[in-house]
Amino acid sequence: MRIEIAKNKVFLKLPKKKLEIHPLWLRERARLNSLHDKNTDQRLYDPSELNTNLKIKKASISNGHLNINFNDGIKFDYEIKELFYELNKNLPYENPIFWSSKLKNIPKTNFRDHMFDTINMYDLLQNFYKYGFVIIKNTPDDEDFLVKFANSIGTVRPTNFGTTFNVRSEKNYNDLAYTDHHIAAHTDNPYRKPVPCIQLLHCIYNEVKGGFSTVVDGFAVAEYLRKKHKDLFNILSSTKVRFRFVDKDIILENWGEIIELDDNRKPKQIRHSPRLDYVPILEKKQLEKFYQARRLFSKLCASKKFELKFKLEVGDIIMFDNYRTLHGRTSFSKSEGKRFLKGCYIDHDSTEGRLRFLERKFNLKWKK
């Protein structure tokens, strides 16, 4: 890929084609202090008002810079590297690595004070995207810490459960998470619009014998289904299911596929919460298939092949991608002691935004 100039026209030379870059495309990227606010980099004008017949009067290239003189009197020196960035649609993280219960090294990192602007945070977030979860060890075990931690990555997303929620066995509860029941693998809150992207759980007490945490790579299970049971994969990725939450103050509903695919038919979002899903009435044969598929999905999530099981220790924070990683827990007996996890949600723009910030700060290039 390179930039070429011929007769006051600028061209982008790609491996298989060459295209002329529109003068307006360049002009609206001229970041002069008179045109762009220097604190925010935002335009001080509406580019729709530029002359539609704008022309390039003079263009030259030297030392990785493209110098343009437009016929409206604006001159600008572009860093060619920056122009190429505009063509890059990559997200700031590498492709996911799908895993099963054989995953050798659980992605873990030790908490350090002031880690939020460091390379450790960058590695932590890259691991989070690679594996769909990460455990942060040895954090302070006070109840207020989780919000500080989450807000240092991005911004906590409050819900009707509050800014944070207390996962412990309660007398009055509006979700089975707040009991000592076994909770099968699920994604949280598929009934919300939008569904919370990332969940964090901070272990404050774990004195019970049970109460093991489970996690499953939902994308790996989806790919397994696609390979081994195409018809079941097809029905789970094409049937929109209603998810519903009801308590005395609110009724929340949202619809979506258990396996949602993106435009390239790759898994984009898993929604699986058999406690509160309601499939629409379909032809009996189709429903038969759907039930077979959902049964197998649940079975795989609980299987030795896919389920990772471990006990959270006091001071651990587990942070997982609620669009990919399913979580659950084994039952416990509250008579044995306290089990208390503090929970909250953040969104993907928090983690992506922080990754781009750290990438800029450390001048990193994660892409090989």
Ligand X SMILES: O=C(O)CCC(=O)C(=O)O
With CB cut-offs between 5 and 8 Å by kind, which of ligand X, Fe ion, none does residue 125 bind? Answer: none
Work out how close the CB of 330 gets to ligand X at its nearest, in angstroms, rounded to a whole number: 9
> Measured from the CB atom, is 107 or 343 closer to ligand X?
343
List of residues 6+ apart from 171 with CB closer than 8 A: none
Work out how close the CB of 102 gets to ligand X at its nearest, in angstroms, rounded to a whole number: 22
Work out how close the CB of 22 gets to ligand X at its nearest, in angstroms, rounded to a whole number: 49
With CB cut-offs between 5 and 8 Å by kind, which of ligand X, Fe ion, none does residue 329 bind? Answer: ligand X
> Measured from the CB atom, is 56 or 221 closer to ligand X?
221
With CB cut-offs between 5 and 8 Å by kind, which of ligand X, Fe ion, none does residue 213 bind? Answer: ligand X
With CB cut-offs between 5 and 8 Å by kind, which of Fe ion, ligand X, none does residue 195 bind? Answer: none
Phi, psi values for residue 328, rounded to 5°: -165, -170
> Measured from the CB atom, is 146 or 235 closer to Fe ion?
146
With CB cut-offs between 5 and 8 Å by kind, which of Fe ion, ligand X, none does residue 109 bind? Answer: none
Residue facing ligand X at closest CB distance: 329
Closest listed residue to residue 141, CA positions, set 335, 337, 313, 334 = 313
The residue ranges that bind ligand X (CB under 6 A) are 167, 177, 183, 188, 213, 327, 329, 341, 343
> Measured from the CB atom, is 294 or 329 closer to ligand X?
329
Report how far residue 139's alpha carbon sits from residue 317's, in angstroms, rounded to the nearest whole number. Answer: 7
Work out how close the CB of 341 gets to ligand X at its nearest, in angstroms, rounded to a whole number: 6
Phi, psi values for residue 43, rounded to 5°: -65, 145
Closest listed residue to residue 28, CA positions, set 47, 41, 11 = 47
Report how far residue 100's alpha carbon sits from residue 114's, in angstroms, rounded to the nearest whole number. Answer: 33
Question: Which residue matches tokens 């030297």?
Answer: 62
With CB cut-offs between 5 and 8 Å by kind, which of ligand X, Fe ion, none does residue 351 bind? Answer: none
Dihedral of CA atoms 137, 143, 145, 151 in degrees, nearest 10, equals: 120
Closest listed residue to residue 109, CA positions, set 129, 132, 128 = 128
Left if phi > 0, otherwise alpha if psi is -120 to 50, otherwise beta: which for 319? beta
Strand 240-246 versus strand 9-13 pairing type: unpaired
> Measured from the CB atom, is 203 or 355 closer to ligand X?
203
The residue ranges that bind Fe ion (CB under 5 A) are 188
Work out how close the CB of 157 gets to ligand X at its nearest, in angstroms, rounded to a whole number: 14
Work out how close the CB of 109 gets to ligand X at its nearest, in angstroms, rounded to a whole number: 20
